[in-house]
Structures are given as C-alpha cells and as structure tokens.
Amino acid sequence: MVGKARVRRRVMRGWLGASALCVAVAGAAGAQEDAAGLGARLKQDAAVAAALAAVEANEPRLLDDQARLCEVPAPPFKEERRAALYKQLFEEAGLVNVRIDKVGNVLGERPGLQPRPHLVFSAHLDTVFPEGTDVRVTREGPYLRGPGIGDDCRGLAVVLGVIRALNAAKVVTPGTITFVGTVGEEGLGDLRGVKHLFAEELKGRIDRFVSVDGTGLGITHIGVGSRRYRVTYTGPGGHSYGAFGLANPIHALGRAIAKVADFQVPVEPKTTFNVGRIGGGTSVNSIAFEAWLEVDMRSADPASLKSVDASFLKAVETALAEENERWNQRGRLSVDVKLVGDRPAGRTPESAPIVQAAVSVTRALGLPVQLDEGSTDSNIPMSLGVPAVTIDGGGRGSGAHSLGETFDSTDSWKGTQRALLLAIALAQP
C-alpha cells in the first residue's frame, strides 16, 4: 500500500509540464486541478481541434473497419487471423516497430518528443465465440449486427480512429503512445495478453494504461477481480445396476453445486459466484467415471473474493468426503481442482489524475460522466498500482456475448472523439 501511495503522489506532481499542448503547474494540488480542467484547454489547441474534426469526418470508414475486423474470426486462444489483419492496419496507419509478440498481442508505436511518459492505448482482439461461429456482419441503417461487433470490435476500431486522427492533424505529443490489440481478455484467456505486456514485453515501461472495451460512454476505474476453477471428480465408474453402491462422481458434483448455491455473500462490496458449465458421464445406465464443473467468482474487494474462494474450495472437498463416506469408500473418488482464471481486483481512485483527466475530456465534449466497475484488461495495471482506466467506445450496444449482438452507430463518433482527447491528455508529461 505504501508503494502505491508513493506512485500516486509522483504521478500527481508530474502530471503536466510545459509543452505546446499544456500549461506547467506546481505542486500536487495544482496538478490535480490541471487534470480536472485539461480537456477544455486541449480543445483550444488548433491541432487538437483539427484532430477532433477528422474523427467525425472519418467515422464512416471506421465503421467499415469495425465490420471488417469482426468478420475475421478470433475465438478464444485462436486470435491469429484477426491479429494479422490488425497488424496490417497498424502498418498502414503509419505506426513504427509494428509487431506481434510471443503471446499474440499486436503492438505499434507512435513516438512522441520523448519516450516518457509512455501511454499504452489498447483494445482486445478476442471474442467469446467458439471456432466455427458465423461472424458475418449485417448492416441496416445505423445498426451493425454480428457476434462481437461491440465487444470488442468497436474498441479495436476506435484505437484505429485515434491513430488516424492524430496523423491527419499532425498532432505531436510530448510522450510516446504504444497502441495494442491484446489477446486473452475474454473467458478462460485469463488476461494473458495484458499480463504479458506488464511482465515481459513492456515491463517497467508503462506509465499509464487505457483499454477501450465495449460500447457507451462509461469510465471504468474499479477492476472486479475473479477466480475461476475447473473441478473434476473421478472414480472407477461402472454399470448403474450391476455396480450399484460405488461412489459416483456426478453425485459428488451435485453435492458441491448444492453447497455453492447456498453461499451467502455480501451485497456491498458486490460479490458473486456462478457455476457456469458442467459435464460428465457416458450413458444413463452407467455410473460416471468422471464429472466436472467450471465456476466463476467475482468481487472488486480482494478480501471478499478471497473469502468466497475459500468457501468454494472447502465445498469441493466436503462434497468429496461426503460422497465417499456415503458408499463406505467403495469406488473411492478423487478430485482435481485446477485454477483456470485469476484476475486480480484493483482500483484507480476517483481522485487520481488519470480518472480526473477522463472525466475532464468527457465533460469538455459535452458528454455524460459515468464511473463504473468491471473486469477488463485494466485489472492488471490497477492491481500493480499503474494508473489505468477502461473507457467505452461510444455508440450503443445490445446483446453483448450473444449471436445477435447489435451496435447502434448513431453519434458513435463522439466516443472516438473522447478516446482521442484522452490519448492526447495522457501523453502529456
């Protein structure tokens, strides 16, 4: 905690310095005031105004890119085809050192006058939909429909829109921006893309982090943590009549699920649990030799998440013991508990300069301010004490994570403008 407080003080003191796009201030209080008023001042700069105008003019092209990207499949752990297209678009947009790292993230740099501050501005490549899903996009007036069209094809498109607008208006930022398309944000991807950025690819070189994820105009500054397990009960199995009396993995699974269903968790901080998938068995007249479940538990509060996690692990072991005891250890079962997802909870304080800057640029564009919590790529930097927020990409969405996902592009350019202005703001020293 002491280290994180020290980082926040350092960021606040050095938030703004003298440059063509900002005004130097002195002291932490002054820096905080500057972050709060930054959006309005940036809009007065001629280059920034030109970039904002370019966003609105280029939104039709951006919507084409959004649909084009979405029609390239990116199922969990198989994002390669979409990554290749995104790399091509980064290169066409003039970024330098464009590359795909060893876990599949796409990176491209837009150098500033100095290497630091270094802003990472990202969206995620993957979707929740399995291989073979029909990902064709249909369009009717302002509506685009297709799996993933809002989450996160919209974010990917907005990142491209920011790059192109900066270039169109020849905006020179004091700091460097690395634009990224990450892998592994959804499902069992376990944030592997952004974890790699902070652990290896850009370790120690990220000063601020923004993820563009989904639709609307929210600002997510609280990271909801999660723990996910795959639990497998196993035994010898046998004929349902002839081998009757053997311990049954499916019965053990049922005992565990019943215990989970009776968990009592706090309403505030919101803490949740869900058994999302189950499986096992070979036929109706067989005692299963295997049964499994997958569970997801979430909270923005690390202590609450730890508590429900402990309750779940106890339930799994108690169910095993009860099933074995019920049948006097005949066909004794065993259990394998595998952690398949670990997203740390995190928080960027509402008073932090990065949040105040996001609020400032939102207000400067006449947009409503909505502070949210959620589980996104920003969980990782938040948990590490690196200033981070996730912003929505504009427009309006419905049916996220469904085959009928829809994006209403009415005034969606306003979300792209907000992303642009925030990128410029966070590239200030």
Identify the H or E element spanning 137: none
Exposed / middle / buried, residue 302 (Cβ in 10 Å: 0-12, 13-18, 19+): middle
From CA 93, how far away is CA 164, in angstroms rounded?
6
Side-chain half-sphere exposure of 155, counting CA atoms within 13 A: 27
From CA 285, how far away is CA 146, in angstroms rounded?
41
Tens digits of per-residue pLDDT, 35-75? 778 999 999 999 999 999 999 999 999 999 999 999 999 99
The domain 2-223+347-426 belongs to what CATH superfamily? Zn peptidases (3.40.630.10)
* Predicted structure pTM score: 0.87
pLDDT at 387: 98
Q: What share of the chain is helix, strand, coil (3-state, %, to 5)?
A: 40, 25, 35
In terms of DSSP bridges, do strands 208-212 and 118-124 run parallel, antiparallel, or are they unpaired? parallel
One-letter amino acid of 160: L
From CA 123, how far away is CA 415, in angstroms rounded?
14
Tens digits of per-residue pLDDT, 19-33? 334 322 223 334 335
16, pLDDT greater than 90: no
13, pLDDT greater than 90: no
From CA 32, how far away is CA 330, in angstroms rounded?
67
Tens digits of per-residue pLDDT, 284-333? 999 999 999 999 999 999 999 999 999 999 999 999 999 999 999 999 99
From CA 110, how far away is CA 106, in angstroms rounded?
14
Tens digits of per-residue pLDDT, 193-238? 999 999 999 999 999 999 999 999 999 999 999 999 999 999 999 9
Tens digits of per-residue pLDDT, 131-156? 999 999 999 999 999 999 999 999 99
Q: What is the mean pLDDT of residues 339-365?
A: 96
From CA 39, how far away is CA 359, in angstroms rounded?
8
Tens digits of per-residue pLDDT, 383-409? 999 999 999 999 999 999 999 999 999
Ranges in the chain annotated CATH 3.40.630.10: 2-223+347-426
pLDDT, the chain, mean:
92
Ranges in the chain annotated CATH 3.30.70.360: 225-343
CATH number of 225-343: 3.30.70.360
Q: Confidence band (pLDDT; 50, 70, 90) for 85? A: very high
In terms of DSSP bridges, do strands 106-110 and 96-100 run parallel, antiparallel, or are they unpaired? antiparallel
